[in-house]
Chains A and B, each alone.
Chain A
Amino acid sequence: MGGPEAQSLAGAPETVADVGSEVDGAGISRAPTRGVEAPPDPHLPSLGEVESGPAAPIHPTGNALLAADVGTVYTKVYLLEDVAGERRLVALGRAPTLGGDGTPAAGEALAQALTQALRRAGRERHPVPEQRLLLTSAGMVPRLAMVAPGGADARALRSSLEGLPVRLLEPVLLEGAGRDPEHLLGQIEVQAPDAVIVAGGGRPAERALAGAAVEAISRGFGRQGPLVLLIGDAEFIAQVSPILEGDRAHVAGDDPRAAVQDLAGRFVEERLAGLDSASGGLGAWSGGGAGSSLEGVCAATRLIADRYDVDVLTLDLGAAHAMAVACLGQSGRRRVVVATRDDLGLRLGRQTILRETGTEALSAWLPIDVAGEALRLDARQGAAIPAAVPETVDDLLLEHAYAREALRLLLEDLARRLGGDGGVTGSATALPPIDLVIGSGGVLAGVPRLTQAALILLDAVQPDALTQLALDRATALSLLGSIGTQDGPAALGAALERDGLLNLGLCIAPVGAGKEGEPAIKVEVVYATRSPVTVDVAVGAIEVVPLPIGERASLKLWPARDFDIGLGQGSAATPRAEVEGGAVGIIVDARGRPLALPGSREKRQAKLLQWLQSTGAYPQFSFVHHPSHRPGEVAAQTIGPSGGPP
Chain B
Amino acid sequence: MTPGSIVDLLDLDRTDQPSAGQAMAPQAPFVGRPLLTEGLVRRRRAWGTDEAEVLVRQGDQVSAGQAVARLRRPGRATALDAAAILGLSPERVESSLLCAVGDMLAEGDVLAERRALAGLQRRVLRSPASGRLSYVSPAHGTLFIQPQAVESAVIAHLSGEVVAAGAAGVMVEGPALSVAGVAGAGRAAAGKLYLAESPTELPSEPGGAIVCCAFVLDEGTVVAMAEAGAVGILAPGIADATIQRLGWDDLLWTAARLERGERWASHPAPPLTVVLLASGPNDAPSELREALRPHAGRLASLVGVEPGIAPELLISLADGLPVPVGNAAGTGAQRTMELTAGTRVRVLAGRSQGLSGELVGTPDSPYRLASEIMTEVADVRLAHGTVIRVPIAHLQVIP
**If A181-B79, A384-B183 touch, does A222 touch B279 (CB 8 Å cutoff)?**
no
Contact B31–A99 (Cβ < 8 Å): yes
Instruction: Say whether A31 contacts B8, CB under 8 Å.
Output: yes
Q: What is the bound-complex CA distance between A498 and B214, given in angstroms? A: 54
Decide if B9 touches A395 in the complex (CB within 8 Å).
Answer: no
**Is B134 among interface residues, defined by CB-CB distance under 8 A?**
yes
> Do A631 and B20 have beta carbons less than 8 Å apart?
no
Nearest CB in chain A to that of B32: its residue: A100
**A212-220, A255-263, A357-365, A599-607 - the one binding chain B:** A212-220
Encode contact with A along B75-110: 1 for CB under 8 Å, 0 otherwise.
Answer: 011111100100000000000000000000000000
Would you call B19 and A222 a contact (CB within 8 A)? no
- 25 interchain pairs, CB-CB under 8 A: A102-B33, A184-B79, A212-B140, A215-B139, A216-B79, A216-B142, A219-B142, A220-B76, A274-B261, A376-B243, A383-B253, A385-B394, A389-B350, A389-B371, A395-B350, A446-B373, A448-B23, A448-B373, A449-B21, A498-B5, A500-B6, A637-B369, A638-B386, A638-B387, A643-B363
Q: Is A166 an interface residue (CB 8 A)?
A: no
Residues in B114-146 with C-beta less than 8 Å from chain A = 134-135, 137, 139-140, 142, 144, 146
Contact between B264 and A192 (Cβ–Cβ < 8 Å)?
Answer: yes
- CB–CB B335/A99 < 8 A: yes
Interface core residue of B9, B353, B363 (most chain A CB under 10 Å): B9
**Chain A contact residues, CB within 8 Å of chain B:** 28-34, 36-37, 39-40, 42, 57-58, 72, 74, 81, 83, 88-96, 98-103, 105, 108, 112, 116, 120-122, 138-141, 179-182, 184-185, 189, 192-194, 208, 211-212, 215-216, 219-226, 267, 270-271, 274, 277-278, 320-321, 342-343, 348-349, 351, 373, 376-377, 380-381, 383-385, 387-393, 395-396, 442, 445-451, 473-475, 498-500, 502, 544, 546, 548-549, 583-585, 616, 619, 629, 631-632, 634-639, 643
Residues of B with C-beta under 8 A to A208:
140
Residue numbers in B under 8 Å from A474 (CB-CB): 6, 9-10, 25
In angstroms, how far is the closest chain B Cβ from the Cβ of A262? 17
Given A395-B371, A544-B19: A219 in contact with B4 (beta carbons within 8 A)? no
Cβ-Cβ contact count across A and B, 8 Å cutoff: 374
A221 to B144, CA, bound (A): 10
Q: Which among B4, B17, B137, B351 is the interface contact of A629 at CB below 8 angstroms?
A: B351
A89-B9, A474-B10 given; A219·B135 CB < 8 A? yes
Known interface pairs A224-B73, A632-B280; A94-B371 also in contact (CB < 8 Å): no
Give A184 to B393 CA distance when docked, in angstroms: 45
Known: A348-B260, A391-B391, A392-B370. A116 touches B26 (CB 8 A): yes
Shortest A619–chain B CB gap in Å is 6
Provide the bound-state CA to CA distance between A466 and B280, in Å.
45
Interface residues of B, CB < 8 Å — how many? Answer: 117
CA distance A290 to B338 in the complex (A): 33
Instruction: Give the complex CA separation of A314 and B390 in angstroms.
Output: 34
B182 CB-CB contact with A under 8 Å: yes
Question: Are B371 and A33 interface neighbours, CB within 8 A?
Answer: no
Give Cα A381–Cα B240 distance, bound, in whole angstroms.
12
Determine whether the beta carbon of A139 is less than 8 Å from that of B333.
no
Looking across the interface, which residue of chain A has its beta carbon closest to that of B1? A122
Q: CA–CA, A574 to B237, complex, Å? A: 61
Question: Within 8 Å CB of B332, what residues of A?
Answer: 278
Interface centre among B11, B252, B351 (most CB of A within 10 A): B351
**Complex contact B142–A631 (CB within 8 A):** no
- Residue-wise, chain B 215-258 has the 8 Å CB interface mask toward A (1 for contact) of 00000000000000000000000001001100001001101100
Task: A30 to B6: give the CA distance in the assembly, Å.
Answer: 8
Does B286 lie at the interface of the complex (its beta carbon under 8 Å from any beta carbon of A)? Answer: no
Q: From the candidates A180, A211, A388, name the one contacting B349 in the complex (CB within 8 A).
A: A388
